[in-house]
Structure 1
């Protein structure tokens, strides 16, 4: 007997499982799906809460997790335990933050390495993947509640400039939230799809997607040819957005009311009031010429549109300069752009719309809700993957993820499942031991986090790496999968040019049933796999820290006091003791203590080394 699913919210027969489209944003996120009857994309508004879910996660003192609008209220009252803008941290090391770590009101851990950042909340350590998973879980639950059906599969969007590490981190977050991520789609591509661009395989055009959100801005130039989207260029600023408009208004009011900026910043209640008023003024001035308001009847919050436009003119000019640079990189003139698409809530500001339309010499397209357009496009992509749009040709895709083994027996994905064929992807690795001259590259296929649960395809040694300290060699591992399904894996040590490659046939005789079983296992064991991965990663971080600190003390003993040596030895011993606990947070806390304790004298010894190196040398 065949099972027939019924969508209880619409009463319609459901022939297929719902695949949702998710816009995981820096400031706000949302989820959309294709209505089963009229086949139009709809942003999900669960219980009238609105389609937008603020990308904010709050941890209560009792360990409870609050996500979305309710969590936003804690941004000023409990900033240390309220995480925002986590998308900025995805797939990044502390060094990648480039001095922007003070932007965050919570503790971002500096482990003095190239490892991915951790966020400390009370005595627990969270990766950006875990935090993003909390937002995705909330979106998934809202979708399930609104549609009255399980939601297990999704398409998630990312900025066009996201690198491989950031894309993989987004996939991992989806997995941890209980979602099989069928495809990672560029946000500008999703926006174009929402406007119907690229759905006709005969269509050939070049479009610009101008995306100004709450905290980030980017401009992407896309070439669409036979249904294939190619990013010709991208530009922008990951620390520029509508929040800067609000800040300009607040500074104007502080000046006009002769307030002291430092006093306002210290008064959390007043600063929150000003921020909310500024946001209200910005929205009002999109449709009216004057905004009038006060705080407690004392602080005048009057603002006229022309004053507002004067305040934000330098910010808007920065975005137009980015457009100019993106066009130069794509080697195009504005008249060669067929359409300009507006994305992000901040594009509702009339001055922004006018500036973009003027620059490109044509009216920008903003007929769809700019907050929802990316999620709507993701839902269309999901519908294509579900096979519901017969007019669209889907290119061949990889049936299972391809990757290599890294420290601790973990699987590091290089080409995720469902990637279009042909494709090429790569990652950079380094050595973990001083003087290491060989590196074993083991290639695996499968969806599990541990390689022992996946299928081994090939193995080879990259020999002849120059003997250097751990972390110095740079080894690029590239996977090239051609249209015939032949996989070539190459490893290159960049400093010496040492190269090795192997060719494998990726069909490996797997039956459809075996592929399905591997996928099913990956979903069934998702939480357990991610938990195991995090413990292994914590152990690896700890082992590297012990190795580095012990070498450092041995080499610089004469510059350290007996007390510093004794305390360092004790903290190293403590870290060695907790390694076997299998508790991620306990291990990372011990790493954090050792890092904080050794940082001051590590800096001091670096200064001594610099002075010694400079002694007697003439500076030209």
Structure 2
């Protein structure tokens, strides 16, 4: 039997699932016996790191404690720790190593792991996540977008098989994504995805903290500050959870200067404070329908994932945008369970038990291009622009060809570039250049020599960009490999001329 893991590596929590002997996904409880592990680390020394619930409890006072580092994956952020600097990649690797060693102690060596990522993660963040998994000791790793994983979990858990178009609304602790999928049974086809990378439950907590601070100041005339009156991140999260089931909460705050201070926070005040954040999610939902060219009346259902979906005003916003009551079932664990199912889909069938193989055979998966891919060219007015060749949302595999022309007589060099963007952007300053290779051209030719450009993106996460001089027939081929298993982390793997 293969040991397959699905890991929801979240901003605030990490949840791990495995595929059991029968081929069904199940949650693996952590080293403290809990299903949900805080994504928290605390360095007690340069070599001793506390991970999880204990680290989160230490975070308010410890100098070298880290929370919410997922938000900075793929950036230049680093932190000083006992004479060295650590990055979000380093922190993620330490967390994943703890997850791996615990899972292996309970169930043996891991054959394959699937780690979930936000659909709107940047290329650099995807690459950093993959590298963190490698450093953690996972031999074979794939990645899947979080809302897609949630869709697989919902597909398995229905009394009646899915059949139609569905929206998956995934609102976690630090990121937000919404995907449209077509599903029939356990066959899931991604249609389109939108998201906001820095939008999640922690932003709600910050608004709630500001609301409590304003009420404290109105009551006492003093600012709410550490050393006098403590109101921690954990306190804000707890208050958020309580306001999801109650209309008002009376908080007894302890102040060194003022003694016990009672303030009341109502759900209406909380909802007013987070209205702008909820509106961002609503706009993304409207955008995913618009860009997919679909109407909300075509939806057969709406699924919720992520703990932030428990907030009543979030559920109301989903109902408002999509025009129907969303389903909320196991929002904390859906992404991890779906990732475990995807692990079975990606595993070598020869390593699966007969029961696992039967379950894996039920799953089929149609992915899409995760970004817009193009090249730089001059428009009719001689202005440099980004020319899109493969559009975000196109079904894989996909191949597209466009013809361009040289602009100068006796042009000796052609700069072959591949660009990537999250939106259909024409401005060359607003796109990421992921490949740039020069190709020599024959001397003495007039302008307007045809250059045929073909981009082909396959199911294995490899994109082939061919720039062919039609006058000579000579091609320059740039092969970009997605080492994140189809999730958009393209890197130049090979360049071939002629």
Q: Classify the TM-score, shorter chain.
A: 0.5 to 0.7
Aligned 8 A contact 2:118 2:175 in 1: no
CA gap 1:326/1:438 in 2 versus in 1, 3 angstroms: closer
Extract unaligned runs of 5+ from structure 2.
350-355, 368-394, 401-412, 418-436, 442-452, 469-473, 482-498
**How far apart are 1:66 and its partner, in Å?**
1.8
Of 25, 29, 36, which residue of structure 2 is paired with 1:52?
Answer: 36
Extract unaligned runs of 5+ from structure 1.
1-15, 95-107, 109-117, 398-419, 426-436, 442-460, 466-476, 494-498, 507-620
**How far apart are 1:375 and its partner, in Å?**
0.2
> Is 2:316 aligned against 1:341?
no
> Is 2:114 aligned against 1:144?
no
1:567 aligns with none
Aligned 8 A contact 1:137 1:178 in 2: yes
Aligned mates of 2:399, 2:90 — CA distance in 1: 28
Of 350, 353, 362, which residue of structure 2 is paired with 1:392?
Answer: 362
Aligned mates of 1:316, 1:219 — CA distance in 2: 13
**How far apart are 1:316 and its partner, in Å?**
2.1
Aligned mates of 2:458, 2:272 — CA distance in 1: 53
1:289 aligns with 247
Of 85, 90, 103, which residue of structure 1 is paired with 2:73?
Answer: 90
CA gap 1:175/1:59 in 2 versus in 1, 3 angstroms: same
Aligned 8 A contact 2:188 2:365 in 1: no
> Is 2:25 aligned against 1:28?
no
Q: Say which SS state the counterpart of residue 178 (structure 1) adopts.
A: coil
2:50 aligns with 66
> Is 2:7 aligned against 1:19?
no
Rg larger in 1 or in 2?
1
Aligned mates of 2:463, 2:216 — CA distance in 1: 66
Aligned 8 A contact 2:155 2:183 in 1: no
Q: Which structure carries more helix by proportion?
A: 1
Aligned 8 A contact 2:215 2:263 in 1: no
Aligned mates of 1:396, 1:160 — CA distance in 2: 15
What are the residue-to-residue correspondences of 1:196-595 with 2, within 5 Å?
A: 196=155, 205-224=164-183, 227-236=187-196, 238-258=197-217, 263-265=223-225, 267=226, 270-271=229-230, 273-296=231-254, 298-367=260-329, 369-386=330-347, 387=349, 388-390=356-358, 391-392=361-362, 422=397, 462-464=438-440, 480=456, 489-490=464-465, 500-502=475-477
* CA shift digits 1:21-49 (9 cap, x unpaired): 11111221111012324x43222113554
**How far apart are 1:204 and its partner, in Å?**
5.5
1:135 aligns with 95
Q: Say which SS state the counterpart of residue 234 (structure 1) adopts.
A: strand
Aligned 8 A contact 2:9 2:117 in 1: yes
**How far apart are 1:195 and its partner, in Å?**
0.6
Aligned 8 A contact 1:206 1:336 in 2: yes
Q: Say which SS state the counterpart of residue 150 (structure 1) adopts.
A: coil
Aligned 8 A contact 2:5 2:17 in 1: yes
Aligned 8 A contact 1:199 1:227 in 2: no
Of 129, 132, 139, which residue of structure 2 is paired with 1:173?
Answer: 132
CA gap 1:287/1:120 in 2 versus in 1, 3 angstroms: same
Aligned 8 A contact 1:152 1:178 in 2: no
Aligned mates of 1:254, 1:462 — CA distance in 2: 58
* CA shift digits 1:417-474 (9 cap, x unpaired): xxx984789xxxxxxxxxxx89999xxxxxxxxxxxxxxxxxxx84349xxxxxxxxx
Q: TM-score, normalised to structure 2's length?
A: 0.67
**How far apart are 1:159 and its partner, in Å?**
1.4
* Coordinate RMSD, CA, aligned: 4.0
CA gap 1:120/1:229 in 2 versus in 1, 3 angstroms: farther
- Which structure ranks higher in relative contact order (CA pairs < 8 Å, sequence separation ≥ 6)? 2
Aligned mates of 2:227, 2:287 — CA distance in 1: 39
Aligned mates of 1:31, 1:66 — CA distance in 2: 18
Q: TM-score, normalised to structure 1's length?
A: 0.55
Aligned mates of 1:289, 1:78 — CA distance in 2: 35
Aligned 8 A contact 1:158 1:167 in 2: yes
Aligned 8 A contact 1:198 1:224 in 2: no
CA gap 1:462/1:150 in 2 versus in 1, 3 angstroms: same
* CA shift digits 1:62-108 (9 cap, x unpaired): 432222222223433235x233333223334x4xxxxxxxxxxxxx3
Aligned mates of 1:42, 1:160 — CA distance in 2: 24
**How far apart are 1:123 and its partner, in Å?**
2.5
CA gap 1:228/1:163 in 2 versus in 1, 3 angstroms: farther
**How far apart are 1:194 and its partner, in Å?**
0.2
2:384 aligns with none
Q: Say which SS state the counterpart of residue 302 (structure 1) adopts.
A: strand
Aligned 8 A contact 2:217 2:224 in 1: no
Of 125, 132, 147, which residue of structure 2 is paired with 1:188?
Answer: 147
CA gap 1:120/1:275 in 2 versus in 1, 3 angstroms: closer
**How far apart are 1:480 and its partner, in Å?**
4.0
CA gap 1:423/1:63 in 2 versus in 1, 3 angstroms: farther
Q: Say which SS state the counterpart of residue 173 (structure 2) adopts.
A: coil
**How far apart are 1:482 and its partner, in Å?**
5.7
Aligned mates of 2:30, 2:250 — CA distance in 1: 33
CA gap 1:34/1:268 in 2 versus in 1, 3 angstroms: farther
Aligned mates of 2:66, 2:238 — CA distance in 1: 23
**How far apart are 1:488 and its partner, in Å?**
7.8
1:78 aligns with 62
